[in-house]
């Protein structure tokens, strides 16, 4: 199959779509008053010489969302994610810049936004519907679908101030998705629901995308960002660091999390000094303090042969060699295996395995091996490597190599999901005429 033509076609189709949301050089500045009187003095310009400290929640942020796209926004706490959503939905006004929205928005912002806690669930449904512009008759027609999706029973007749956070978000999301929005905006709310409700919400996302609707999604759940989002916008301290494919932005975000993002280093792919054997990625991302450095890595199969093609069900070993430029108190050696979309599927490290918790002196070289059975489904994967540790209470990255080596798994039997449960199947006669129907045999713990 020629995927090149398909990719080009999809790119053209995306570019031809109308713009649903346009954010153009948006800034949001808050003045930090120390006491209420200062606010009055500033508003009346009674002391024009007095400078009021300012906080820049957003700083010249620009991006576009096309109709039918699901775009994620990620960043650390305080990066401006919720602020930009409130500006897009009209809850806040920008200090500078312009936002244009083409389509009816339904927004699920922080827990409780748009709900009167003294009202019952039913009353809040009608309140929200009326605020969006629906008549009572139109809300009546949607009420059944809302109640079925929320699935909170008779609590819908109780004041929402009596709800648990999970019940609250079930009702809020049910209202948000059943008022036929053209643009759905969700801010972290799904993290409150249980796993069954989250699964139902993500199925709804898929339905929305198939209908050509637009979704703007803020979440700290990076697996969901990778799985569902077409593109990702990365914010940090009110500034847009970049936008692009989910996998690329998440790799940069991880550098931000450990305080090792360097804008100049990330403009181009880094040339690694590590000796990577076979299947190496020429555009791998690497960073770290380099007090210790990964100098070599390769994979061997169950016969000890170096290879990147592994047979499903057979043992294999990941080899990592590292040199230490300074003494490190307790280095942690790690690996992670991701699929092509960037979802982290599995991995471990020497701390998890309680395999090595010793100090390493300057000038020493260590070789670490991880041996395990390959139970992933057939396909192509990416291996990332890490050398980290703690300096006091601070987590420190000495050297990381993202997507350093490709792994091809060869399989003659694939099951559902990412890996094989290696189930042993047994079928027995259970008796005739239902004589054993009431007997339930539970599997024994192993």
Give CA–CA dist 92/28, Å, rounded.
9
Which letter, b or e, does each residue of 380-395 get, where b requires 16 or more Cβ atoms within 10 Å of its Cβ? ebbbbbbbbbeeeeee
Q: Is residue 9 part of a domain?
A: no
Q: Token digits for 201?
A: 């919400």
pLDDT for the residue 291: 96
Among 72, 78, 38, 37, residue whose Cα is nearest residue 56: 78
Give CA–CA dist 30/36, Å, rounded.
14
Judged against a pLDDT cut of 60, whether residue 232 lies above it is answered with yes
Q: Please indicate, yes or no, whether residues 27 and 158 belong to a single structural domain of this protein.
A: yes
Q: Is residue 391 part of a domain?
A: yes
Q: Please indicate, yes or no, whether residues 351 and 216 belong to a single structural domain of this protein.
A: no
Mean pLDDT, to the nearest integer, of 403-407? Answer: 91
Q: Is residue 421 part of a domain?
A: no
Judged against a pLDDT cut of 90, whether residue 59 lies above it is answered with yes
Give CA–CA dist 302/372, Å, rounded.
10
Q: Please indicate, yes or no, whether residues 152 and 44 belong to a single structural domain of this protein.
A: yes
Q: Please indicate, yes or no, whether residues 181 and 318 belong to a single structural domain of this protein.
A: no
Cβ 101 vs Cβ 214: under 8 Å: no
CATH number at residue 371: 2.70.50.60
Q: Is residue 229 part of a domain?
A: yes
CA angle 45, 51, 55 (to 5 degrees): 110
Give CA–CA dist 98/94, Å, rounded.
7
pLDDT for the residue 284: 77
Q: Please indicate, yes or no, whether residues 322 and 208 belong to a single structural domain of this protein.
A: no
Q: Please state whether 75 falls in left (phi above 0), alpha (psi between -120 and 50) or beta.
A: left
Q: Is residue 405 part of a domain?
A: yes
pLDDT for the residue 439: 53
pLDDT digits (tens, 9 = 90+) for 311-332: 999 999 999 999 999 999 999 9
pLDDT for the residue 67: 94
Give CA–CA dist 241/266, Å, rounded.
10
Domain extent at residue 397: 271-410
- pTM of the entire structure? 0.77
**Which of residues 53 and 42 earns the better pLDDT score?**
53
pLDDT for the residue 130: 85
pLDDT for the residue 193: 66
Sheet strands side by side (includes 275-276) = 275-276, 292-300, 315-324, 365-373
Mean pLDDT, to the nearest integer, of 150-163? Answer: 92
Q: Token digits for 394?
A: 């601070």
List the single range of 15-24, 263-272, 430-439 with lowest mean pLDDT.
263-272
Q: Is residue 439 part of a domain?
A: no
pLDDT for the residue 438: 56
Among 112, 65, 89, 95, residue whose Cα is nearest residue 185: 89
Q: Please indicate, yes or no, whether residues 279 and 248 belong to a single structural domain of this protein.
A: no
Q: Is residue 444 part of a domain?
A: no
Q: Please indicate, yes or no, whether residues 236 and 279 belong to a single structural domain of this protein.
A: no
436 — pLDDT class (breaks 50, 70, 90): low
pLDDT for the residue 9: 42
**Which of residues 225 and 317 earns the better pLDDT score?**
317
Last residue of a domain, one of 207, 222, 252: 252
In whole angstroms, how large is the CA radius of gyration of the chain?
A: 27
Q: Please state whether 80 falls in left (phi above 0), alpha (psi between -120 and 50) or beta.
A: left
Q: Tell whether the torsion through CA atoms of 180, 182, 187 and 191 is positive or negative.
A: positive
In the chain, how many domains are there? 2
Question: 415 to each of 93, 280, 288, how far by Cα in Å?
Answer: 51, 28, 38
Q: Please indicate, yes or no, whether residues 288 and 236 belong to a single structural domain of this protein.
A: no
Cβ 370 vs Cβ 335: under 8 Å: yes
pLDDT digits (tens, 9 = 90+) for 183-220: 999 887 676 667 788 888 888 888 888 898 999 999 88
pLDDT digits (tens, 9 = 90+) for 80-122: 999 999 999 998 999 999 999 999 888 887 656 678 889 999 9
pLDDT for the residue 281: 65
Q: Please indicate, yes or no, whether residues 195 and 236 belong to a single structural domain of this protein.
A: yes
pLDDT for the residue 31: 85
pLDDT for the residue 441: 54
Q: Which three-class secondary structure state does DSSP give residue 190?
A: helix
List the single range of 10-19, 367-376, 410-419 with lowest mean pLDDT.
10-19
List the single range of 113-117, 134-138, 275-279 with lowest mean pLDDT.
275-279
pLDDT for the residue 50: 75
Reported as half-sphere exposure (CB side, CA atoms, 13 A), residue 27 has a value of 9
Cβ 62 vs Cβ 24: under 8 Å: yes
Q: What percent of the chain has pLDDT over 70?
A: 87
CATH number at residue 31: 3.40.50.300
Q: Please indicate, yes or no, whether residues 187 and 284 belong to a single structural domain of this protein.
A: no
Last residue of a domain, one of 252, 279, 306: 252
Judged against a pLDDT cut of 60, whether residue 149 lies above it is answered with yes
pLDDT for the residue 195: 77
Q: Please indicate, yes or no, whether residues 303 and 197 belong to a single structural domain of this protein.
A: no
Question: 86 to each of 81, 110, 145, 186, 218, how far by Cα in Å?
Answer: 9, 10, 27, 11, 12
Cβ 142 vs Cβ 176: under 8 Å: no
Q: Token digits for 310?
A: 């592994």
pLDDT for the residue 223: 82
pLDDT for the residue 391: 92
Residue 445 burial by CB count (10 A; 0-12/13-18/19+): exposed, middle or buried? exposed
Mean pLDDT, to the nearest integer, of 68-75? Answer: 94
Q: What percent of the chain has pLDDT over 90?
A: 53
Give CA–CA dist 130/123, Å, rounded.
11
Q: Token digits for 186?
A: 């969700």
Angle between helix 136-150 and 121-132 (nearest 10):
130
Helix/strand/coil (H/E/C) assignment for every residue in 79-117: CCHHHHHHHHHCCCCCCEEEEEECCCEEEECCCCCCCCC
Q: Is residue 1 part of a domain?
A: no
11 — pLDDT class (breaks 50, 70, 90): very low
β pairing state of 214-218 and 54-66? unpaired
Q: Tell whether the torsion through CA atoms of 84, 89, 90 and 91 is positive or negative.
A: negative
pLDDT for the residue 273: 66
Last residue of a domain, one of 252, 281, 302: 252
Give CA–CA dist 173/154, Å, rounded.
18
Q: Please indicate, yes or no, whether residues 238 and 377 belong to a single structural domain of this protein.
A: no
Average pLDDT score, the chain: 86
Among 195, 213, 194, 246, residue whose Cα is nearest residue 74: 246
329: CB partners within 8 A, 6+ apart:
359, 389, 390, 391
Reported as half-sphere exposure (CB side, CA atoms, 13 A), residue 227 has a value of 13
């Amino acid at each position: 199959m020629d995927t090149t033509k398909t990719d080009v076609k999809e790119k053209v189709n995306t570019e031809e779509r109308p713009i649903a949301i346009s954010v153009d050089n948006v800034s949001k500045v808050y003045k930090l008053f120390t006491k209420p009187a200062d606010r009055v003095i500033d508003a009346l310009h009674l002391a024009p010489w007095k400078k009021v400290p300012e906080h820049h929640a957003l700083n010249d942020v620009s991006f576009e969302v096309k109709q039918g796209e699901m775009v994620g926004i990620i960043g650390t706490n305080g990066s401006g994610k919720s602020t930009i959503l409130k500006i897009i939905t009209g809850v806040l006004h920008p200090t500078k810049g312009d936002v244009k929205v083409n389509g009816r928005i339904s927004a699920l912002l922080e827990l409780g936004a748009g709900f009167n806690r003294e009202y019952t669930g039913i009353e809040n449904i009608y309140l929200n519907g009326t605020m969006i512009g629906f008549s009572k008759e139109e809300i009546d027609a949607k009420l059944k679908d809302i109640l079925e999706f929320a699935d909170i029973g008779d609590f819908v007749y109780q004041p929402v101030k009596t709800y648990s956070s999970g019940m609250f978000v079930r009702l809020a999301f049910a209202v948000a998705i059943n008022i036929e929005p053209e643009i759905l905006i969700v801010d972290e709310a799904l993290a409150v629901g249980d796993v069954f409700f989250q699964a139902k919400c993500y199925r709804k996302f898929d339905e929305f995308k198939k209908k050509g609707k637009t979704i703007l999604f803020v979440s700290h759940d990076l697996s969901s960002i990778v799985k569902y989002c077409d593109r990702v916008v990365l914010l940090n301290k009110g500034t847009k660091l970049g936008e692009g494919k989910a996998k690329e932005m998440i790799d940069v975000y991880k550098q931000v999390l450990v305080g090792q993002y360097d804008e100049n280093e990330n403009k181009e792919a880094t040339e690694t000094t590590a000796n990577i054997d076979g299947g190496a990625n020429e555009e791998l991302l690497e960073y770290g303090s380099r007090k210790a450095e990964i100098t070599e890595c390769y994979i061997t199969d169950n016969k000890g042969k170096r290879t990147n093609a592994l047979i499903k069900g057979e043992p294999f070993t990941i080899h990592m060699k590292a040199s230490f430029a300074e003494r490190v108190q307790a280095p942690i050696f790690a690996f992670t295996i991701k699929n092509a979309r960037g979802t982290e599927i599995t991995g471990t490290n020497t701390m998890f395995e309680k395999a090595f918790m010793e100090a390493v002196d300057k000038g020493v070289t260590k070789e670490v091996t991880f041996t395990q059975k390959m139970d992933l489904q057939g396909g192509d994967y990416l291996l990332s490597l890490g050398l980290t540790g703690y300096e006091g209470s601070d987590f420190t990255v000495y050297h990381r190599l993202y997507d350093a080596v490709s792994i091809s798994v060869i399989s003659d039997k694939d099951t559902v999901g990412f890996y094989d449960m290696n189930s042993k199947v047994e079928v027995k006669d259970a008796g005739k005429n239902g004589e054993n129907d009431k007997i339930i045999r539970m599997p024994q713990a192993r």
